[in-house]
A and B are shown apart, each in its own frame.
Chain A
Amino acid sequence: MAAPIAIHLEFGGGAELLFNGVKEHHVTLPSQSEPWDVKQLLVWIQRNLLKERPELFVQGDSVRPGILVLINDADWELMGELDYQLQDQDNIVFISTLHGG
């Protein structure tokens, strides 16, 4: 059994509007048999934080195009994307790309 882990979630660039305008969320992921990865985190966010219009946040089992995921201040592409195994105290940021000028 993997112990519960506490992580810090942040939403920005307008993605926070899907979460009642709240940018920062300190959450604890419950203990489970396998270590938590980002793919499971997305499911957890959908079930626990995201109430309405999930299509504005996820597409298939990943985030929708136009949302950049950062793991501990680095592009998630450098960290293994959906397969990255979450560690206690990780900082995961979801940023919606801006287009205005």
Chain B
Amino acid sequence: MAQEVCSLKAQLKEQEKEIAALKKKLSQLEKSHTSALELHDKVRPLTPLKAKLALSNEDIMRYSRQLLLPELGVQGQLNLSKTSVLVVGCGGLGCPLAQYLAAAGIGRLGLLDYDEVELSNLHRQVLHGEENQGQAKALSAANAARRLNSTVECIPYHLQLSSENALQLIQQYDIVADCSDNVPTRYLVNDACVLSGKPLVSASALRMEGQLTVYNYSGGPCYRCLYPVPPPPETVTNCSDGGVLGVVPGIMGCFQALEVIKIASGQGSSCSQQLVMFDAQDARFRSIKLRPKQAGCAVCGENPSVTKLVDYESFCGSAATDKCRKLNLLPRDQRITVQDYQSIMDKAVPHLLLDVRPLVEVEICHLPFSLNIPLSSLEERKTEHIQLFQERISQLKQQMAGDCRPPVYVICKLGNDSQKAVQVLEKMSGSEVDSIMVKDICGGLMAWAQKIDPTFPQY
């Protein structure tokens, strides 16, 4: 019996060794396969894309189901294979777009993104996997597209599109798809497309809605014709603030792929001078007729004032990322750090912690002793909330000896809304509510999670 156990153990050890060797061989093979794709960190001239004269037998088999469509046919497929497309942004729109373009047999796919893959991307950026976290999105997307169709030439660009490199890059491509996530990049891509005469298939998505238009195509308007003046930065919501249901950019990215394929194959797009709006809540698409190309447009008009690329961050008053802006509304002495707040808690100093995030975020996570009143309720002076606040202040006053003003510390996710709330409460203090001493906590709950309590969730 003991002998049998011994021998089985020895066999098992042998097999395990073999498995380990096989795993190593496999990972080396996979590595050599992925390393074949070279990540571009600057724009370089590309060799011209060679036109295929005929489809190979393998092409015919691979694309047979779309070759059967009279709208596409052999000529359409050949046209796809000689078209290059630049995808600006490999996120929620860029991933499905790149996937379907690669699958359909586009000739060359430029994939641009300055960012790296994060866990919070994976619900919508479906070309990236868990194992790609920390990797350049451009490379991760290019590898995934190539796994799907190795005959497509994929070029990953790990760089920020800028006024310095955009023209050189865009000139090398036939069609541009704007899958970016911020206003300055949208103006930059538009102007570069107008200046180099390329059609721009543009989409965007937020929360439960999406929008799509093809700009600078068959005599239609450009982005600036529609939006000559950028929106005030404080009116712009990004996905990390407003949230987005993953499938919504998925649908819009697929829609972009459709229009790119129609343009590339020669069928043409029907979305010039059209705005397609998608409302996921009502499951409704709507197509709106837009204004024509504007004679007075600053870039595509008759007397353009924009004849070369400009500084788009200063034009829009915001940075070319979707990262949150850090506001600085309060003087230093009206703000405390998370470390300060921790010592207030440790010393059990009587105070009120006011969390001003919307309820949906409080449900994700909150500090157990906080009172939640959303910033919007404070701004609108919602009676029931103001009453609640006043009650808590009265209780606090009773706890405290003497007649000093009760301290209120305001917290939110990142420390922007908390500053706005302090300004609102300052105005109310001594009139609408009892006199209080109000400060905000710098960096908010995310700073608390990073610096004080690593078990607190981040989102």
Contact = CB atoms under 8 A, between A and B. Distances in A.
Interface string B205-226: 1110111000000000000001
Interface residues of A, number: 26
Interface stretch (A29-37, A38-46, A70-78, A82-90): A70-78
Interface string A12-36: 1110000000000000000000000
Nearest to B253: A101
B230 A100 contact: no
B204 A75 contact: no
Contacts of A12: 209, 277, 279
Interface residues of B, number: 48
A96 B279 CA distance: 13
Nearest to B240: A100
Contact of B231 (A53, A64, A95): A64
B291 A77 contact: yes
B235 A56 contact: yes
Interface stretch (B19-27, B156-164, B175-183, B440-448): B175-183
A99 B182 CA distance: 6
A11 to B, nearest CB: 11
Contacts of A101: 89, 91-94, 178-181, 203-205, 239, 249, 322
B394 interface: no
Contacts of B89: 101
Contacts of B236: 66, 99
Interface string B88-106: 0101111000000000000
B227 interface: yes
B179 A96 contact: no
A65 B229 contact: yes
A100 B286 contact: no
A100 B227 contact: no
Interface in A46-70: 51-53, 55-56, 64-68, 70
Given A13-B209, A64-B235, A99 B289 contact: no
B289 A98 contact: no
B232 A14 contact: no
A101 B137 CA distance: 14
Contact of B277 (A51, A52, A64, A95): A95
B288 A70 contact: yes
B237 interface: yes
Nearest to B232: A64
Task: For the complex of A and B, list the 7 residue pairs with the smallest distance between their C-beta atoms, beginning with the closest.
Answer: A66-B231, A77-B291, A65-B229, A98-B204, A100-B206, A101-B181, A100-B239
24 contacts: A53-B379, A56-B234, A64-B231, A64-B232, A65-B228, A65-B229, A66-B227, A66-B230, A66-B232, A73-B288, A75-B275, A75-B288, A75-B290, A98-B209, A99-B186, A99-B238, A100-B204, A100-B242, A101-B91, A101-B92, A101-B93, A101-B178, A101-B181, A101-B205
Given A56-B235, A64-B235, 19 more contacts: A12-B277, A52-B379, A52-B380, A53-B379, A55-B232, A66-B230, A67-B231, A73-B288, A73-B289, A78-B289, A98-B210, A99-B186, A99-B236, A99-B238, A100-B206, A100-B238, A101-B89, A101-B178, A101-B249
